[in-house]
């Protein structure tokens, strides 16, 4: 049996049915194996970067792993930004890179070890990707293949998941192997953390004693595929729930005890809840500074913070934020054990939940006067309508910067909907290829891609992939004619010197209407509020790609937003000090007067 | 003085007048400095990958260095393929990446060292780029800035040049520094290699004794900026000259003793010259397998091979190819010393040069019947006309794969013309952004970009950069409807199973006419031979961008080409054994019967 055929057989056994790839000299033997099986197919993309992002999204959608195949050198290095997306967000993916023949490579022959390059397009992709993968390995001989595939896919999925790279010399790709004689990788099933049950009892006591508890849901719940267990867990309590960005689709926005998204771009309600709480149970969140604010010690500073995280390095990363109880566990084990052993808790301080719910209604993100805006489309009004029209099982993938933030603030995510972005890496250009990958992961399902005018250009070449696969991806480009989040930063901190962020300073958009049509994709535009519902109704339900350009004010701000240095309860625009004080049940800190200089 | 202003001042002192960049949170303070000087400007690109490639080409054109600036995380990782271009081809370039605040980064605070990510978009770009840079460093404190800039730019240019990365935390970018108090980097001027003059005497003796010497010119001559010294050197001899890919523009194609390009895709004439030679003087060539053929020991096997190279690792990388004399020296020192001390050599075996010149006329790359082709444009006929029409000072930048090979085979490069590609890394998508960078390096000069239908899509977003800067870049897309060089490989070795290389197997092209026009760029097409001269005359002389699509046969082959395993004198299609034997003045080796299986 040919080694390449063996690899495809392995991928099929892992339920991967689609590989994202570009062929090339050093990977052509592996790609040739697709001619000998119908159980797995491939999607040709136009840039390897997009392949890695498609695979990342495919993994997020699917039950399992994903895979890319690319050639050596630039094929491999082009993957890196996509690999980093999977690394920071803990997404399992296998990247198979072709390499020069084993006898040609650096160090294979005497005197060649220190040469910059020996074989054609030879590049040390293993060293380059080590810092952003769980495992990065160049095959040393063909007989290792079973061991290495098993090890790589195990490591990609075990513990805190992540991407892996397997680099395979060309000559090995066509080597004969005897599958029966290959060595296997032995792994131990990870044990449940020894203190878990003790900690659960502790946790229960703490919640019972607390007066103003809050539960914070993070992306780790999704990574451990514990969505259903979470639901049973939440039935045990009737407590205020807040979410991080990656946890936003874990709970229906309209659920009665859901308060909102927390953090720098969060809702006032969710931030008041956390900052007034006396106990914060964090489930699967690394408590990034986008959540805690720039000064982590000001976060939940009146609360006993309990964090459940599979990665003990995240539990030790305090940066001033003190964790009262660290539970180092897989979220799945956590829920299983808690749900089995603990009864529904009756919680006496009903005022607390009421207060949180009051904040949610008192401080809505979407304000009535947004709908009255005459010139341009109001971005918050746009997301209001989009929310209303999206079906329950929709998948929404947002890019980064302004449009990600607006989407997270204003979309009312329904139960069953999936919403994600490459949160930790946050590259421009993720959402569009990710939407293609997500659609292909689910039999060409509809996917809503929320993008910006700056970021859509990064992977615009994939319009061709979209068109040739005729996927019902709806590309929504929120156009503010420049880099919105940078403009807001420059307005605030750099005296409106918009270097490299606006058309006058060299950042120009192409004519998206012409570009879209050139690729044979339907173009639509929303110029003003009154266009929103009409255009969305027309485009969301078609069974083909649609491009929807939403023209918003070039200086549209993110509202509210934390000014650097403030604690998260004090979002800008600042409330009157009287109103602010009324919302703080506990002592607040003075906000920094020298917000910017101090940092 | 602000640290960012200091950086710009330093770049100005290095004669960099244009920085390629995309702004972003972590680089915005540095970018803001451009608002305070008029001596240096920036070009906004649409993808950081293109910025790195533009900088690479800017360096190749210019007298000095180039620079990019990008934000942390994806901004930085997007550079990598472009950095690798500079690394493998020894091009000096400074990449400045923004980083999270120094107090936020991994390891800055207790317990954060092993966390995947601490600050937002924090990525360990220093470790990632170490394997492909001469120096990659994160600034530890603002007062290091002078030392590090001096060290980085010195290392980028000294010895064998290459790219460097300087990673600068946000808070340092806005730090106050006192330029007078900053430490400088002290460097010693590299010494001339101690045995150089002895070796030059040896070399001279060897040439005098030889009967069939050949001089091979490589890219190192350009890297050491020794083009003029080379000219004086070549006046000392009247010997056959051959070139590598990167050396092709060092000599006029019509120069009487120039024989051609050598190697796997070389000319029969140049290969016969090298394979029949008894002395081969290699100047600044790493003798890659694209030159030696897949079995280096068969290369120049009847010759005493003398190699002059600045990198001693290249001299030790023999892979079966034995070097008779290794001269570890900068090419510039080599020429200066040789030219000063050695007189013009009279060479008695005039038959040898005559024979080589005979081969050049007997085996032209461009055959007469190519001009008779009726359907599609013949690619060799195309390059014949392009050669004829290109002016003496033209810059031509080719991408990779088929179109690079055809261009190198068929273009008759004139003295004064520049021709290059990212030869060692050979990524799809280099030529187009490189053409933009090269044009900007020379006051918006005309640049000919030779690209393929597959590769142009990789950086197609830069059409917007091209348009908004209105540069006279002529994009020539050689369209063979798929990945040509892969198709030729599949035809030869994989029984014509064209997986992932043709439209039927998932590789489709957009409508380039529509795309080009959507970006507001003039579109032109060459469908057949009779269109060539007409369209080229119309487009080459305009002062604006032009897109020229050249429709060639989907199965157009590269002719001649070495079949894997053969020695380079025996290019395919094979000559009759009789004719072949007549051309071999020395004993040949039997070509491998099991060409493919043997490897």
CA B431 – CA A480 distance, rounded (Å): 31
Helix axes B331-341, B196-209, angle to 10 degrees: 70
Q: How many CB atoms lie within 10 A of CB B582?
A: 10
Asked if the model's pLDDT at residue B599 lies above 60, the reply is no
What confidence category does residue B593 fall into, taking pLDDT thresholds of 50, 70 and 90?
A: very low
Q: Would you say B397 and B450 are in contact if contact means Cβ atoms under 8 Å apart?
A: yes
Residues of A within 8 A of B81 (CB-CB) are 74, 77-78
Q: Give the mean pLDDT of B443-455.
A: 96
What confidence category does residue B598 fall into, taking pLDDT thresholds of 50, 70 and 90?
A: very low
Instruction: Summarize pLDDT for A341-388 with one digit per residue, the tens.
Output: 999 988 878 899 999 999 999 999 999 999 999 999 999 999 999 999
Question: Least CA distance to B23: which residue of chain A?
Answer: A500
Residues of B within 8 A of A286 (CB-CB) are 115, 117
Question: In a 3-state reduction of DSSP, which class is residue A282?
Answer: strand
| Mutation site for B-interface testing, chosen from A518, A565, A597, A598 by largest number of B Cβ within 10 Å | A518
* B576 within a domain of the structure (yes/no): no
Question: What is the structure's pLDDT at A64?
Answer: 84
End-to-end CA distance of chain A: 61
**B10 in contact with chain A, both atoms CB, cutoff 8 A:** no
Q: Would you say A360 and A259 are in contact if contact means Cβ atoms under 8 Å apart?
A: yes
What confidence category does residue B589 fall into, taking pLDDT thresholds of 50, 70 and 90?
A: low
Q: Give the mean pLDDT of A256-278.
A: 97
Q: Side by side, which strands form the sheet with A304-309?
A: A258-261, A241-243, A213-217, A279-283, A304-309, A325-328
* A287 within a domain of the structure (yes/no): yes
Nearest to A428 among B74, B316, B490 (CB): B74
* The token pair that represents B362 in the structure block: 């007997």
- Closest CA–CA distance from residue B530 to any residue of chain A (Å): 28
Q: Give the mean pLDDT of A88-112.
A: 96
Instruction: Summarize pLDDT for A59-82 with one digit per residue, the tens.
Output: 999 888 999 999 999 999 999 999
Number of domains in chain B: 3
Q: Are residues A212 and A256 in the same domain?
A: yes
**A491 in contact with chain B, both atoms CB, cutoff 8 A:** no
**A460 in contact with chain B, both atoms CB, cutoff 8 A:** yes
Asked if the model's pLDDT at residue B596 lies above 80, the reply is no
Instruction: Summarize pLDDT for A164-184 with one digit per residue, the tens.
Output: 999 999 999 999 999 999 999
* B571 within a domain of the structure (yes/no): no
Q: Are residues B345 and B212 in the same domain?
A: yes
Q: Are residues B145 and B56 in the same domain?
A: yes
Q: Are residues B87 and B120 in the same domain?
A: yes
Nearest to A74 among B23, B29, B426 (CB): B426
Asked if the model's pLDDT at residue B512 lies above 70, the reply is yes
Q: Note whether B290 contacts A119, CB cutoff 8 Å.
A: no
Q: Note whether B468 contacts A316, CB cutoff 8 Å.
A: no
CA separation (Å) from A14 to A11, A165, B209? 5, 16, 66
CA separation (Å) from B142 to A412, B29, B103, B168, B170? 45, 14, 13, 9, 11
Residues of B within 8 A of A510 (CB-CB) are 463-464, 467, 518-519
Helices (H), A124-209: 125-129, 145-157, 170-173, 196-209
* The token pair that represents A96 in the structure block: 């198979």
Which B residues 159-218 touch A at CB under 8 Å?
160, 171
**A347 in contact with chain B, both atoms CB, cutoff 8 A:** no
* A568 within a domain of the structure (yes/no): no
Which B residues 51-70 touch A at CB under 8 Å?
none
Q: Give the mean pLDDT of B285-303.
A: 95
Count CA atoms closer than 13 A to B115's CA, side-chain side.
Answer: 29
Q: Are residues B337 and B410 in the same domain?
A: no
Question: Least CA distance to B112: which residue of chain A?
Answer: A317
Q: Would you say B208 and B35 are in contact if contact means Cβ atoms under 8 Å apart?
A: no
For all residues of chain B together, what is the average pLDDT? Answer: 95
Instruction: Summarize pLDDT for B548-572 with one digit per residue, the tens.
Output: 999 999 999 999 999 988 999 999 9
Question: What is the structure's pLDDT at A62?
Answer: 85
Question: Least CA distance to B469: which residue of chain A?
Answer: A506
CA B427 – CA B431 distance, rounded (Å): 9
CA A274 – CA A278 distance, rounded (Å): 8
Q: Would you say A450 and A404 are in contact if contact means Cβ atoms under 8 Å apart?
A: yes
* The token pair that represents B164 in the structure block: 């460097």
Helices (H), B327-378: 331-341, 350-362
Residue A209 belongs to domain with CATH number: 3.40.50.1220
Distance of CA B335 to the CA centre of its chain: 22
- Closest CA–CA distance from residue B506 to any residue of chain A (Å): 6
Q: Are residues A403 and A289 in the same domain?
A: no
Question: What is the structure's pLDDT at B588?
Answer: 61
Q: Are residues B116 and B225 in the same domain?
A: no
Question: Least CA distance to A509: which residue of chain B?
Answer: B464
* B230 within a domain of the structure (yes/no): yes
**Percent of chain B residues past pLDDT 90, beyond the cut:** 93
Question: Least CA distance to A426: which residue of chain B?
Answer: B121
Q: Are residues A35 and A169 in the same domain?
A: yes
**B470 in contact with chain A, both atoms CB, cutoff 8 A:** no
Instruction: Summarize pLDDT for A390-402 with one digit per residue, the tens.
Output: 999 999 999 999 9
- Cβ-Cβ contacts under 8 Å between A and B: the total is 276
Place of tokens 């940078």: A486
What confidence category does residue A593 fall into, taking pLDDT thresholds of 50, 70 and 90?
A: very low
- Closest CA–CA distance from residue A63 to any residue of chain B (Å): 24
**Omega of the bond prior to B573 within 30 degrees of 0, cis?**
yes
Helices (H), A399-458: 402-410, 431-441
For all residues of chain A together, what is the average pLDDT? Answer: 95
User: Residue B383 belongs to what H/E stretch?
Assistant: helix B379-389
Asked if the model's pLDDT at residue B227 lies above 50, the reply is yes
Q: Which of B551, B570, B594 is where one domain is finished?
A: B551
β pairing state of B213-217 and B258-261: unpaired
Asked if the model's pLDDT at residue A597 lies above 70, the reply is no
Instruction: Summarize pLDDT for B128-165 with one digit per residue, the tens.
Output: 999 999 999 999 999 999 999 999 999 999 999 999 99
Q: Note whether A74 contacts B427, CB cutoff 8 Å.
A: yes
CA A463 – CA A468 distance, rounded (Å): 8
Q: Note whether B511 contacts A501, CB cutoff 8 Å.
A: no
Question: What is the structure's pLDDT at B188?
Answer: 85
Instruction: Summarize pLDDT for A121-159 with one digit per residue, the tens.
Output: 999 999 999 999 999 999 999 999 999 999 999 999 999
Q: Give the mean pLDDT of B360-378.
A: 97
CA A372 – CA A265 distance, rounded (Å): 24
Instruction: Summarize pLDDT for A2-47 with one digit per residue, the tens.
Output: 999 999 999 999 999 999 999 999 999 999 999 999 999 999 999 9
Question: What is the structure's pLDDT at A588?
Answer: 60
Question: Least CA distance to A315: which residue of chain B?
Answer: B111
Nearest to B78 among A81, A131, A171 (CB): A81
Q: Would you say B196 and B166 are in contact if contact means Cβ atoms under 8 Å apart?
A: no
Residues of B within 8 A of A131 (CB-CB) are 124, 127-128
What confidence category does residue B192 fall into, taking pLDDT thresholds of 50, 70 and 90?
A: confident
Quick one: CA dihedral A338, A339, A343, A347, positive or negative?
A: positive
Which A residues 389-428 touch B at CB under 8 Å?
424-428
User: Residue A397 belongs to what H/E stretch?
Assistant: strand A395-398
Closest CA to A165 of A272, A281, A225, A86: A86
Which residue segment(s) compose the domain that A514 sits in? 368-551
Asked if the model's pLDDT at residue A93 lies above 70, the reply is yes
User: Residue A242 belongs to what H/E stretch?
Assistant: strand A241-243
Q: Which of B317, B342, B362 is where one domain is finished?
A: B362
Instruction: Summarize pLDDT for A469-527 with one digit per residue, the tens.
Output: 999 999 999 999 999 999 999 999 999 999 999 999 999 999 999 999 999 999 999 99
CA B290 – CA B219 distance, rounded (Å): 14
Q: Are residues A373 and A357 in the same domain?
A: no
* A191 within a domain of the structure (yes/no): no
Q: Give the mean pLDDT of B458-485.
A: 97
The full 3-state SS of B493-529, as one line of letters, equals: HCCCCCCCCCHHHCCCCCCHHHHHHHCCCEEEEECCH
Q: Note whether B25 contacts A485, CB cutoff 8 Å.
A: yes
Question: In a 3-state reduction of DSSP, which class is residue B357?
Answer: helix
Question: What is the structure's pLDDT at B595?
Answer: 34
Phi, psi (degrees; rounded to nearest 5) at B104 = -100, -15
Q: Side by side, which strands form the sheet with A41-44?
A: A41-44, A18-21, A67-70, A93-99, A163-169, A135-138
Closest CA to A196 of A308, A327, A344: A327
What confidence category does residue A598 fall into, taking pLDDT thresholds of 50, 70 and 90?
A: very low
Q: Would you say A462 and A57 are in contact if contact means Cβ atoms under 8 Å apart?
A: no
Q: How many CB atoms lie within 10 A of CB A2?
A: 18
Q: Would you say A455 and A401 are in contact if contact means Cβ atoms under 8 Å apart?
A: yes
Q: Are residues B18 and B137 in the same domain?
A: yes
CA separation (Å) from A345 to A338, A342, A599? 12, 8, 43
Asked if the model's pLDDT at residue B388 lies above 90, the reply is yes
Q: Are residues B146 and B280 in the same domain?
A: no
Q: Would you say B239 and B278 are in contact if contact means Cβ atoms under 8 Å apart?
A: no
Asked if the model's pLDDT at residue A594 lies above 50, the reply is no
Q: Are residues B159 and B282 in the same domain?
A: no
Q: Side by side, which strands form the sheet with B258-261?
A: B258-261, B241-243, B213-217, B279-283, B304-309, B325-328
Q: Which of A337, A362, A387 is where one domain is finished?
A: A362
**B314 in contact with chain A, both atoms CB, cutoff 8 A:** yes
Residues of A within 8 A of B485 (CB-CB) are 25
Asked if the model's pLDDT at residue A238 lies above 50, the reply is yes
Instruction: Summarize pLDDT for A190-207 with one digit per residue, the tens.
Output: 788 889 999 999 999 999
Residue A374 belongs to domain with CATH number: 3.40.50.970
Which A residues 12-51 touch B at CB under 8 Å?
21-25, 28-29, 31-32, 34-35, 42-44, 46-47, 49
CA A234 – CA A254 distance, rounded (Å): 15
* B460 within a domain of the structure (yes/no): yes
Question: What is the structure's pLDDT at B394?
Answer: 96
Query: What phi-psi label fits residue A79: left (phi over 0), alpha (psi between -120 and 50 degrees) or beta?
Result: alpha
* A544 within a domain of the structure (yes/no): yes
């Amino acid at each position: 049996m040919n080694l390449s055929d063996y690899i495809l057989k392995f991928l099929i056994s892992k339920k991967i049915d689609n590989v994202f790839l570009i062929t090339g000299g050093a990977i052509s033997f592996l790609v040739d194996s697709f001619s000998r099986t119908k159980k797995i197919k491939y999607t040709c993309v136009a840039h390897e970067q997009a392949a890695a992002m498609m695979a990342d999204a495919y993994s997020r959608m699917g039950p399992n792993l994903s895979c890319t195949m690319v050639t050596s050198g630039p094929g491999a290095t082009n993957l890196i930004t996509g690999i980093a997306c999977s690394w920071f967000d803990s997404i399992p993916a296998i990247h198979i890179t072709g390499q020069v023949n084993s006898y040609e490579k650096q160090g294979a022959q005497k005197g060649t070890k220190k040469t910059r390059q020996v074989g054609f397009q030879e590049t040390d992709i293993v060293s380059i990707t080590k810092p952003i993968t769980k495992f990065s390995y160049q095959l040393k001989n063909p007989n290792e293949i079973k061991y290495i595939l098993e090890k790589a896919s195990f490591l990609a999925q075990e513990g805190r998941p992540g991407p892996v790279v397997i680099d395979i010399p060309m000559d090995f790709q066509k080597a004969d192997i005897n599958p029966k004689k290959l060595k296997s990788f032995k792994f131990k099933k990870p044990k449940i953390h020894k203190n878990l049950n003790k900690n659960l009892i502790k946790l229960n006591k703490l919640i019972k004693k607390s007066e103003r508890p809050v539960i914070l849901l993070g992306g780790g719940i999704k990574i451990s595929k514990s969505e259903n267990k979470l639901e049973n867990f939440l039935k045990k309590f009737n407590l205020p729930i807040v979410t991080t960005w990656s946890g936003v689709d874990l709970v229906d926005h309209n659920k009665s005890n859901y308060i909102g998204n927390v953090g720098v771009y969060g809702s006032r309600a969710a931030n008041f809840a956390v900052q007034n709480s006396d106990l914060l149970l964090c489930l699967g969140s690394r408590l990034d500074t986008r959540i805690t604010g720039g000064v982590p010690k000001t976060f939940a500073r009146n609360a006993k913070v309990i964090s459940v995280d599979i990665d003990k390095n995240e539990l030790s990363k305090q940066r001033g934020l003190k964790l009262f109880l660290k539970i180092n566990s897989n979220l799945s084990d956590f829920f299983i054990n808690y749900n089995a052993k603990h009864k529904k808790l009756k919680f006496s301080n009903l005022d607390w939940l009421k207060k949180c719910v009051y904040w949610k209604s008192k401080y809505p993100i979407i304000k009535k006067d947004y709908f009255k805006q005459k010139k341009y489309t109001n971005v918050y009004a746009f997301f209001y309508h989009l929310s209303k029209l999206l079906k329950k099982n929709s998948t929404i993938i947002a890019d980064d910067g302004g449009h990600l933030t607006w989407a997270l603030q204003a979309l009312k995510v329904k139960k069953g909907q999936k919403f994600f972005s490459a949160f930790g890496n946050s590259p421009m250009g993720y959402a569009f290829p990710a939407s293609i990958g997500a659609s292909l992961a689910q039999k060409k399902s509809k996917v809503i891609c929320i993008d910006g005018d700056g970021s859509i250009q990064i992977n615009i070449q994939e319009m061709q992939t979209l068109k040739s696969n005729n996927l019902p991806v709806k590309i929504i480009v929120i156009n503010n004619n420049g880099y919105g989040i940078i403009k807001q930063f420059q307005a605030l901190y750099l005296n409106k010197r918009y270097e490299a962020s606006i058309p006058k300073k060299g950042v120009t958009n192409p004519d998206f209407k012409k570009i879209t049509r050139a690729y044979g994709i339907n173009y639509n535009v929303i110029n003003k509020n009154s266009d929103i519902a009409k255009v969305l109704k027309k485009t969301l339900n078609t069974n083909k790609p649609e491009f929807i350009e939403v023209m918003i004010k070039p200086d549209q701000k993110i509202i509210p937003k934390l000014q650097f240095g403030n604690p998260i309860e004090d979002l800008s625009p600042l409330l009157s000090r009287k109103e602010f004080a009324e919302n703080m049940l506990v002592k607040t800190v003075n906000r920094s007067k020298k917000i910017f200089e101090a940092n």
